[in-house]
A and B are shown apart, each in its own frame.
Chain A
Amino acid sequence: MSDDVLVTIDDLKVHFPIKRGIVLDRTVGYVYAVDGVSLTINRGETYGLVGESGCGKTTLGRALLRLVEPTDGRADFDGTDLSTLKGEELRTMRRRMQMVFQDPLSSLDPRQSVESLLVEGMRAHGLDKGKEQTHQRLKELLAAVGLPESALRRYPHEFSGGQRQRIGIARALAVEPDLIVADEPVSALDVSVQAQVVNLLEELQDELGLTYLVIAHDLAVVRHISDRIGVMYLGSMVEEADSDELYRQPLHPYTRALLSAIPVPDPVVEDSREQILLSGDLPSPADPPTGCRFHTRCPWRQETLCDTDRPQLREIGEGHRVACHYAEDILEGRLSPHEVEPELVQPDAVTS
């Protein structure tokens, strides 16, 4: 392993059991939230994870921090296998991996003042070394996220959405982490405020050398801040590339559709571009399709191979990995898209 790799995730799986029955508590099936994802994050880089709701991106982020227990696979953080850590060791390790949540209001205790919110983590990790020093540190933190010093004595409800997200970021920074997992950090914010938080995250990274794992559904935001992007679909990674490369030359049919579905605030572009409209809905992760997970909606699907064989991520071009049997053929135009009949999807389908 090279020195500058901070996080390695190898074939990570998180399966949630579906329980039925009151007394017996039988397990009737599993939700395959994350089903075999591998990735690496280098020190100081921003890795963006995109996908639609239910694709497992949030679960992956949480499994990395062991906020949910992975079913299988392993996650290494700075050379340490996280799955072997227990109790105090894990708690100490968590100082180096912090999380910023989507909804800043529900992730901040409404009855704690900002000062107490920020000090709590520092105290838990023994970074609270005397009144003077701590106060100095709090001042630094607030200045770093662009809040006035008077914020310390106030409570979360007294702030606007953007300011609350700044508090959430300050709380994560308080314990001097190496890695910050940001789960939809701006999607609850108004458009004009989103840019403030995005810029703040970028500035903090430049200043403190942080490593980010940014999880979001908004590909435009992710592309803006990420160095590399992984696209997830139904629990598996379908494509991973440098963020410019991904936009310039998406290889997986799903990535292509996703990119073409995002509205661009420019009527000239909107009028001229070709959209790949996917038919139907995301299949249920409790009952994922056989073979390629995407074959039920894929306009380039080919008979038998796509239905039966699950494609593995393979490298095409430098650092560009894609999980599609026909990526080269699609790229060179040897295959043409066809109509897809939408399949019925039961949102709460459970295999019985």
Chain B
Amino acid sequence: MALLEVRDLSITFHRKGEEPSVAVDNISFNVEPGQTVGLVGESGCGKSVTSLAIMGLLPSRGAKVGGSVTFEGEELLGLSQRELDERRGRDLGMVFQDPLSSLNPVVPIGLQISEVLERHRKLGRKEAKAEAAELLNRVGIPDPKRRLDEYPHQLSGGMRQRALIAIALACRPRLLIADEPTTALDVTIQAQILSLLSELVSGTDTALIMITHDLGVVAGLCDEVNVMYGGRIVERAQRHALFAEPRHPYTHGLLASIPRLDAPRGEKLVPIRGSVVDNIAWSRGCAFAPRCPSQLEECWSDPPELVDDRGGMLRCHNPVEVAPMAAEGAR
């Protein structure tokens, strides 16, 4: 049995006087113990909302969540706040994008970590403090004892993100969700945080869901990758397969449109035309059809299903046949 099973998860936001908007539309995926699963997509594709729904962090009013999310066989959706409090922090940890707004600005770092330890691991105050210092040390914060009494604003961005990771890891959760953990950071700091994350999850059976828009981050870290577009998963593959042979035109387009450091210079980028505002509803056809270079007539009228494809999953009527490397060589 998988550690986390997401089945037909749908999230709809209702606003007074407006049409309900579907942020996530029937997505399903599994996370096995020790596995790193990526959710990739552009802003507005529903990747962050998915993580919030798993953690039970969406507001009960206004957001309607359907489907099922089971953690070790137990349904998470519909749990009461109290039941969720037991699991969050202990079994499920989360690292957010912006560490400054997710840490309490008026509480010292040490207290924010030991709070979790006292609550879930029932440690005494002294033990919790010692453990908090140990955790800060583990995530690579120099002079951890002194840092315990400092406030978030006294730490740099990278240090804050480390503190946040320390909090998320305090109770050795079995699932860690990282929502764009490095987007707000500089590249050299990003490299530090990514290597820290992969160190922390490899060798343990902690599973990691990595949510990002950066395909480079995915390439280095994830075992399995889900590419999302317009609230649905359009492609799922093992990481090597995805980059060597992207099957969905969207994945293919993304890879062709990012400048690569190791590519010869002077080559033109191949952008994806249009933007997400051009999308059509999934109920009518393929949401990506208006931007798709290989669209067929049926893409506009017949919504494609997510089907098995070369060891992964694919939602496309007209998948890409040629690997991008081969295509470049032919040009």
Contacts and interface: CB of A to CB of B under 8 A. Distances in A.
A266 B189 contact: no
B216 A263 contact: yes
Contacts of B159: 281
Contacts of B143: 344
A105 B214 CA distance: 23
B182 to A, nearest CB: 9
A77 to B, nearest CB: 27
B67 interface: no
A221 interface: yes
A281 B189 contact: yes
Contact of B219 (A224, A267, A275): A267
Contacts of B269: 195, 198-199, 224
A343 B142 contact: yes
A52 B190 CA distance: 11
Contact of B158 (A160, A275, A281): A281
Given A281-B159, A341-B142, A263 B240 contact: no
Interface stretch (A92-100, A134-142, A185-193, A314-322): A185-193
A191 B191 contact: no
A244 B195 CA distance: 27
A347 B147 CA distance: 13
B265 A243 contact: yes
B214 A263 contact: yes
Contacts of B154: 346-348
B47 interface: no
A335 to B, nearest CB: 20
A6 interface: no
B1 interface: no
Contact of B277 (A52, A160, A271, A347): A160
Interface in B248-267: 253-255, 257-262, 265
B239 A160 contact: no
Interface string A238-276: 000001100100000000011111111111111100010
Contacts of B219: 263-267, 269-270
Interface size band for A: 35 or more
Q: Is the interface of A mostly helix, strand, loop or mixed?
A: helix
A280 interface: yes
B262 A264 contact: yes
Contacts of B260: 220, 264-266
Nearest to A242: B265
B261 A342 contact: no
Nearest to B187: A261
B71 interface: no
A52 B186 contact: yes
Given A191-B257, A192-B257, A219 B187 contact: yes
Given A278-B192, A342-B140, A191 B216 contact: no
Interface residues of B, number: 52
Contacts of A217: 186-187
> For A191, A342, A346, A347, which residue has the most chain B Cβ atoms within 10 angstroms?
A191
Nearest to B240: A267
A220 B254 CA distance: 15
B270 A162 contact: no
A102 to B, nearest CB: 15
B264 to A, nearest CB: 8
A277 interface: yes
A223 B265 contact: yes
A234 to B, nearest CB: 12
A247 B240 contact: no
A267 B257 contact: no
A346 B147 CA distance: 11
A258 B189 CA distance: 10
A191 B195 contact: no
Nearest to A259: B261
A80 interface: no
B202 interface: no
A204 interface: no
Nearest to A280: B142
B195 A195 contact: no
A292 interface: no
Interface in A314-352: 341-348
Contacts of B195: 275, 277
B188 A191 contact: no
Contacts of A265: 215-216, 218-219, 243, 255, 258, 260
B155 interface: yes
Nearest to B239: A267
A190 B272 CA distance: 11
B156 A281 contact: yes
Contacts of B258: 191, 194-195, 220, 265
Given A163-B275, A190-B275, A261-B188, 9 more contacts: A192-B254, A193-B271, A196-B273, A199-B269, A219-B187, A262-B187, A265-B219, A280-B142, A344-B143
22 contacts: A52-B188, A160-B277, A161-B275, A163-B275, A190-B213, A193-B272, A195-B259, A199-B269, A199-B271, A220-B260, A221-B259, A257-B188, A259-B261, A262-B216, A266-B260, A267-B220, A268-B244, A277-B191, A279-B192, A281-B159, A282-B186, A348-B153
Interface of A: 52-53, 160-163, 190-196, 198-199, 202, 217, 219-221, 223-224, 243-244, 247, 257-271, 275, 277-282, 341-348
